[in-house]
Amino acid sequence: MTDKPVIATPRRLPGALSGALKAKYDVREPESDVAEDGAFMAIADGAAAIFATAFDEMDARFISALPDSVKFIASIGVGVDHIDLDTAKARGLVVSNTPEVTTACLADTTIGLIIAGCRRFREGLDIAETGEGRGMLTPESWGQRVTGRTLGIVGMGNVGKAVAKRARAFDMNIIYTTPRPSAQIDSEFAARAVAFEELLKTADVISLHCPLKEETRHLIDAAAIEKMKPSVVIINISRGPVIDELALIDALRAKRVFAAGLDVFETEPGPIREELRSLPNAYCLPHIASATFESRAGMAMRVLVNIDAFFETGAPIDQVV
């Protein structure tokens, strides 16, 4: 028996993180890599908190089945769309995430995808693989200059602002749409708030940094793409379903969209659609925007801070509900 607070996790944790938690808490992990729902409910019985990752789908059915002992879900990562927040709130559960610590790496990845998409790096790398020393010499194979183009940012939260800060170094004209535009944002980033329709029509690069909600699901669909310039480059490191991928695939094939840079996909956690990843103007990364030593260490430290705060005060630092 132990008098330490009990934390349950549906998957085995990395050694360092598991060790840090076990120094203060009674941590229950599954014997296999990932526990089935039924097996996890047995592990969670008597636990006050659950450690969750973005790969742990906690829908209404899952949350409703949790033992009464569970009062807190500590999620590692920024997004919380894998958790049914309405059901959690109705059950009186506290939910936290780990924002801010990944901001720099997410913004860096966005800028990398913008440059790669505009300059057609994927096609250049393919040519270099053949051994050809000088390729893409004809106008139909040329890319676009990044400097001076208009960047449309959808969602001006921490990551959107960090992208705007970096984009200023490229002398990009910044327009944005967000639920709470402000004169301070306009001044700090030399940006201009516009309506979503204007952003679609005006931007040379559209970068998505909005959370996944019902109103943002398939925000970029065939109708939205039809309003864009054919030279547009679309970037998404937010959540896959913000884009209707089938509509995007059609537009990339028809060259109604110049390029797309994606780190998230509608089919996650399943494989990336072959018809998307095979397109030469689609730049697909396997959800690695936060996959740096700095970001992952920061996420681990932040979730530990949230867990400590919950057990000490009843409220984590980064409370979502």
- Residue 166 in 3-state DSSP? helix
Element (DSSP H or E) covering residue 317:
none
Sheet holding 72-76, edge to edge: 26-28, 6-8, 49-53, 72-76, 94-96
- What's the confidence (pLDDT) of residue 2? 60
| Type of residue numbered 233 | V
- What's the confidence (pLDDT) of residue 203? 98
Q: Strand runs (DSSP E) across the chain, as ranges?
A: 6-8, 26-28, 49-53, 72-76, 94-96, 150-154, 173-177, 191-193, 205-208, 233-236, 259-262, 282-284
Whole-prediction pTM: 0.93
pLDDT band at 269 (very low <50, low <70, confident <90, very high): confident
| Type of residue numbered 153 | I
> How distant, in Å, are the alpha carbons of 234, 258, 271 from that of 251?
11, 9, 21
pLDDT band at 36 (very low <50, low <70, confident <90, very high): confident
Q: What is the pLDDT of residues 176-226, one digit of tens each?
A: 999 999 999 999 999 999 999 999 999 999 999 999 999 999 999 999 999
Sheet holding 191-193, edge to edge: 191-193, 173-177, 150-154, 205-208, 233-236, 259-262, 282-284
pLDDT value at 123 more than 70:
yes
Q: What is the pLDDT of residues 77-120, one digit of tens each?
A: 999 999 999 999 999 999 999 999 999 999 999 999 999 999 99
Catalytically annotated residues: 239, 268, 287
- Interior/surface letters 260-275, b for 16+ CB within 10 angstroms, e for the rest: bbbbbbbeeeeebbee
Across all residues in the chain, what is the average pLDDT?
A: 96
- What's the confidence (pLDDT) of residue 299? 96
Q: What is the pLDDT of residues 47-58, one digit of tens each?
A: 999 999 988 999
Cβ atoms within 10 Å, residue 258: 22
Task: Domains for the chain: give ranges and CATH numbers.
Answer: 6-101+294-313 (3.40.50.720), 103-284 (3.40.50.720)
CB 209 within 8 A of CB 159: yes
- Residue 262 in 3-state DSSP? strand
Taken as a whole, the chain contains a residue count of 321
